[in-house]
Each structure stands twice: as C-alpha cells, then as structure tokens.
Amino acid sequence: MVTCQQLLQKYPEVWQSATVHPFLSSCRSGEIHPHQFNTWLVQDYLFVVDFTRMAARLLADAPIHHFDTLLAGLAALKDELNWFREKAIERQLNLEQYRHPTCTEYCGYMASLALTPYAVQATAFWAIEAAYNQGWQNPGHMVPPYDEFADRWGNAGFTDYVELLAQQADEALQSAPTSIQKQAEAAFQEVAKLEKEFWQMAFAAEEAS
C-alpha cells in the first residue's frame, strides 16, 4: 500500500522542486520584486477560487467521518478568499483578471480530478495543501510584509490540518486497489510539477511597462 509519507520519500527531488524555489527565498530576504509578488497574489487568488470548488467536490465523495476535517478546511477557504481580497485592496490590485496559462493548467487539472476515485482526489488535495505548508515554512522567517503570508500557510495549526489530510488520504488508499494507488501516485507527481511551475510563473513575471 502506498502512503503519503512514502510518496514524499519516493520522490524527494520532485517534492523539493515543489516546495523550494527562488520566489520563496526572495520573499524571505525581501528581494522579491513587487510585480513578481503581485502576479503571484492575483493568480493564487484565482487558483484558490477553483481549489475551493475542488474541496467541495472532495466533500461530496468523502466518507462521513472525514467531514469534520474537510468542512473545517472549507470554512478556512472562505476566510482565505476574503483575506486575498483585502490584500488586493491594500496593493491596489485587480483580481478580476485573466488567468495566466500556468494557472489555467493547474485549475483544469484540479477539475479533472472530479472524475477520479476519492483516494486519488484525497491524495492530490493533501499534496496541494502540503506543498504550500512546506513551501512557506522551508525558507525560514521572512521579512515583512511577506511574513504574514508565510504564517498563513506555515503555522503549526495548518501543519496539523495537513497531517489530518494525510491520514484521510492514507485511509482511502489502504482499501484502494493497486490501479487506484498508481493513479494517486501519478496525481502526487502532477501536483508537484504544477506547484513548481506556479512559483516559476510568478518569479518570471515581467514588470508592466
């Protein structure tokens, strides 16, 4: 049986590419350019909109005893979307923009997971949250104003939530046939690839002329 921890151990380089990136280290040092960070903020808001839809679909397929954790996550996403809007107002950013192709690809992948078994969805959902948790933790303490963003996804409470998601994914995988476990493994790798590309999208953003 495959588990979330085994996936992390089996694909360390893939996972590192998803959670360690110059975008994040530049946030830590304060050297990130405003246009790079603002690109990330807008596109991540658009991503979270579709991630919320993924969370709702996951809940629809989940066993009842998984509801508490998933509902708590949905409630947190409500607060997160409102928080993004507040940050956008502070930075005078328009959130009603077209998605970058990288964001569009990621959102399309999340939507496609609705056609997969619950174990695959749960593994991918955990991987997405885990990537943010570790990504914002790994660089260490960040300078203001980026420390607020790091704390949102790197705090101990969020880490505990990610662990609960891992436990639920592991439970679903335990009873899944080998073919579905392989799908979950592929989903983990795809999430890691898309996470790397998302950081790179923001880091490579060009300043508007």
Burial class (CB in 10 A: 0-12, 13-18, 19+), 88: middle
CA distance 17 to 131: 10
- The verdict on residue 191 lying in a domain is yes
**Does some domain include residue 208?**
no
Give domain status of residue 209, yes or no: no
Can you read off the two tokens belonging to residue 3? 């588990």
Residue 132 lies in a domain: yes
Q: Which domain holds residue 11?
A: 4-29+37-203
Tokens 């996804």 identify what position? 153
pLDDT tens digit string along 45-96? 999 999 999 999 999 999 999 999 999 999 999 999 999 999 999 999 999 8
Residue 165 lies in a domain: yes
Q: pTM for the whole thing?
A: 0.96
Q: In total, how many domains does the chain have?
A: 1
Q: Which position has the token pair 């397929």?
A: 61
**CATH number for position 148:** 1.20.910.10
Q: Using one digit for the tens of pLDDT, what is the confidence trace for 11-28?
A: 999 999 999 999 999 999
Structural domain includes residue 56: yes
The pLDDT assigned to 138 comes to 85
Q: So what's the pLDDT on residue 64?
A: 98
Distance in Å from the first CA to the final CA of the chain:
53
pLDDT tens readout for residues 119-137: 999 999 999 999 999 999 9
